[in-house]
Every structure is written in C-alpha cells, then in structure tokens.
Amino acid sequence: MGVEEELKELEERAEEGSNKSMQPVALTMSILAVIVAVITILGERAHTAAIINQAKASDQWSLYQSKKNRAYDSGLAADNLSMTAAKIPGADKLIEKYKGYVEKEKADSEAEQEVAKGFEEQREQAEFLGNRFNLAQVLLEIALVITSITLLTRNKLYWYLGLLFGLAGVAAATSVLWLK
C-alpha cells in the first residue's frame, strides 16, 4: 500500500467518523422540522378559528341590533297609537300588541347579546392559542437554524444552543394546555 492510498483511506475514515458524530445533529434537525410543521398547522387552525368566531360574533351583533331596532320601532308605533287612541276603535288592543313586541324584542336582543359575547370570548381564546403557537414556531425555527450551523462548523456548542431553543419552543407550544 502506497502513501497516497494510506492517506486516502485515512481521509475516508475521518469522513465516516465525522458523519457518525453528526448523526445526532441530523436527527435533531429532522425532529425539529416535524415539530415545526405540526406547530405551524396548529397555529393556522387557531387563527382560522379566531376569524370564524369573529364572523359569528359580527353576525350575532347584527341580529342584536336588528332586534333592538324592531323594539324601538314597535315602541314608536305604540306611542303613536296612544296619542290617537281616542279616534281609532280597537287601538287599545294594538297598543298592547306593540308593547308585547317591545318586550319580546328586548328579551330576544339580550339573548343575542350574550351569544355574541360568547363568540367574542371564543375568538379571544383562539387568538391566544394562535399567538402562542406562533411564538413556539419562531423558537423552533430558530432552533433548526442554529442546529444546522453545527453541520457547517462541526462545533457541538451550536447543537446544544439549538436544543435549548427547541425546548423553549416545545414549552411555548405545550403551555396552551395550562394557560387557557
């Protein structure tokens, strides 16, 4: 075996050794990439839920407003009839009917208001979840980038730093379980 062949063999062994020492780093990067994908989907779903709940709340507030308007209109009709009741036969019955409408619409509008507030609370909760998942996503992406620097520099300090960011990202994502 010549010197050139021995050098080539030593170089191949060195490459194999360095590749094996970087296997945990590559595995960490793969795991981080999968977690980033999952967290991204969870964040997008949370933000979509927030948008849907906002639309539902807006619809409920419109319904609330229409019921308030009907109550107001029925009240005006009852007031107008009261002023001319002496001239119109059966006006008393109509006045009572309109007053009944006013009471019904007021009660209905209060119920619609409560439903709208419920949708707004759900929207706020979904926004909180989405923001928390966004924070987790950013931390995990930082972890992925820092960990990849290890492959370039062969300095495991970057791998450890990436692991810290990864743990922070996982903690941020799992915090939604107890911070609701």
Q: Which residue has the tokens 């780093």?
A: 25
Scanning 89-179, the segments in alpha helix (DSSP H) are 91-153, 156-174
- Has residue 173 got a pLDDT over 70? yes
Query: pLDDT digits over 126-169, tens only?
Result: 999 999 999 999 999 999 999 999 988 889 999 999 999 999 99
**Predicted pLDDT at 8:** 62
Distance (Å, whole) CA 70 – CA 170: 52
DSSP-based three-state secondary structure for 41: helix
Structure-block tokens of residue 120: 């707004």
Among residues 45, 39, 21, 14, the alpha carbon closest in space to that of 154 is found at 21
Supply the DSSP string of 85-106, one letter for each residue: TTTSTTHHHHHHHHHHHHHHHH
- Has residue 37 got a pLDDT over 90? yes
